[in-house]
Amino acid sequence: MDVYQEYKSKCCTADQAVQVVKDGDWVDYGMSCAYPTALDKALARRHSDLKDIKVRNAISCHAVAILEADPENRTFTYNLWHCSGIDRKYLDAGRAYHEPMLFRDCGSYYRRGFAPVDVAMITVAPMDKHGNFSFGLTNGCTQEMLDAAETIIVEVNPNMPVVFGMGSDHIHVSKVQAIVESQEAVSLAPNREPSAIDKQIAENIFPYLHDGITLQLGIGGMPNALGILIAESDLKDLGMHTELMSDGYLDLYKAGKITNDKKPFQRGKGVFSICMGSKELYEFLDHNQDVLSAPMHYVNNPETIRQLDDFISINSCIAADLYGQVCSESAGTRHISGTGGQLDFVTGAYAADHGKAFLAMPSSRVDKKGVRHSNILPKFTAGDIITTPRTQAPYMVTEYGVANLSGLATWQRAEALINIAHPDMREDLIKAAEAQRIWRRSNKI
């Protein structure tokens, strides 16, 4: 059978395709922009005839049909490797659960059988003449997830760009059990607009950058601010090696800042694992030989990152304590995000020759009642999740400056962190540091 005949023979409607799901199944959705929108809606329509369906996903980009159709979660249990703003609403309502992981290990959970998959559903780009469907915007751990699945359904969408990859970037028609054609819009996830504080933080990091660095920019408003700042600077010959490709990189490509010419390997090629952003970014990636997707187990592996000299990793966090522990995924027990690739990149960047990892946050936040709270805390006590342990705490950044914690004793860390805390909070932090016996009598602000 030629590939077009095979394609035709496997085509069906979304409602027909989801008939394969049976009580008790684990169903995995393609992460973020690979979300199978039409299949999710069709599965939602089965909510009253199915029992105990566990769905796994990450970074939902819009309302999830199975949850909307099943407001009391009688049929569906929603599990998340990583969380978006939409997911936070489900988590806040007790309607979703987080699955902790390091992104570099996520695929191994499928490979080792710890994350069983009965049915996998992903959005892919249209088939090429060889019978291949590009994974498009989400490489991630798609391959491992599909390898683990008993049944694979692809949702073929012409709005998904064709993205070339270093490997594990497509699936052949012979390996799928069902094909559903869809015209759903691919989710957009433009970065949050940078605030004045994001811009100040970006200015504080900027002096550490130089020509020829390879750059990883994380998720959130601040990395976007830094992208804009670099695009307007005279820096040149930057490289891209990042888990997340977002619009910050598009600004850099458009400004001619990224050439990838100084990378010791994959010269001339930018490398990413997941892309989330604007339509313009997706159009930029479509059939673009300059940018390759690769699996998370490769991109996020500290051993890969270590070999990229002059590697600079820039991510955001939520809070730090005076010991240098960093929380980037919860506020107390309120779940906000995920470890994602943060610890992978902090570890890899430190190991690279001349590498540096920055973790940035606003020094404080003002609550709904107008009360200011420090994001630098004496100690974590409220259930906050430690994303980066103090042993790996890197260059910490707020709008008040940069504190390199590497090699510092507890009293030095406390002093360095209090120096970048909000000025109104410093006296209280010093008192707390004294009480915790991490303040030296001669310390000065």
Binding site for ligand CCCC(=O)O (CB under 6 A): 59, 82, 103, 219, 243-244, 274, 338, 340-341
Reduced DSSP (H G I as helix, E B as strand, rest coil) percent helix, strand, coil of the chain, to 5: 30, 25, 45
d(CA 441, CA 72): 57
| Residue 390 three-state SS | helix
**Which of 144, 155, 243, 399 is labelled catalytic?**
243
In the complex, what is the shortest distance from the CB of residue 82 to ligand CCCC(=O)O, in angstroms, rounded to a whole number?
Answer: 5
d(CA 386, CA 388): 6
Choose which of 244, 271, 377, 385 interacts with ligand ACO (CB under 6 A): 244
In the complex, what is the shortest distance from the CB of residue 84 to ligand ACO, in angstroms, rounded to a whole number?
Answer: 9
* CB closer to ligand ACO out of 60 and 216: 216
* CB closer to ligand CCCC(=O)O out of 96 and 219: 219
| Contact flag: residue 319 with ligand ACO (CB under 6 A) | yes
* CB closer to ligand ACO out of 184 and 384: 384
End-to-end CA distance of the chain: 75
CB-based contact 243:340 (threshold 8 Å): yes
CB-based contact 117:26 (threshold 8 Å): yes
Instruction: Look at residue 274 and give the partner it binds from ligand ACO, ligand CCCC(=O)O, none, a contact being a CB closer than 5 to 8 Å depending on partner kind.
Output: ligand CCCC(=O)O
* CB closer to ligand CCCC(=O)O out of 243 and 251: 243
Helix (H) or strand (E) holding 376: strand 376-377
What is the distance of C-alpha 430 from the center of its chain? Answer: 35
Instruction: Look at residue 39 and give the partner it binds from ligand CCCC(=O)O, ligand ACO, none, a contact being a CB closer than 5 to 8 Å depending on partner kind.
Output: none
Give the x-and-dash track for 135-174 against ligand ACO (CB under 6 A). ----------------------------------------
d(CA 143, CA 335): 28
Near ligand ACO in 389-418, by CB under 6 A: none
The first and second tokens of residue 254, run together, are 């458009």
User: Binding residue per annotation — 219?
Assistant: yes
d(CA 146, CA 130): 20
Is the four-CA dihedral 386, 387, 389, 393 of positive or negative sign? negative
**C-alpha distances in angstroms, 149 versus 27, 104, 117, 177, 418?**
9, 20, 5, 11, 50
User: Binding residue per annotation — 221?
Assistant: yes
For the question of residue 243 being annotated catalytic, the response is yes
**Binding residue positions:** 218-222, 318, 341
Chain contacts with ligand ACO (rule: CB under 6 A): 85, 88, 192, 216, 218-221, 242-244, 315-319, 328-329, 331, 336-338, 340-342, 345, 365, 375
Residues tagged active-site: 243
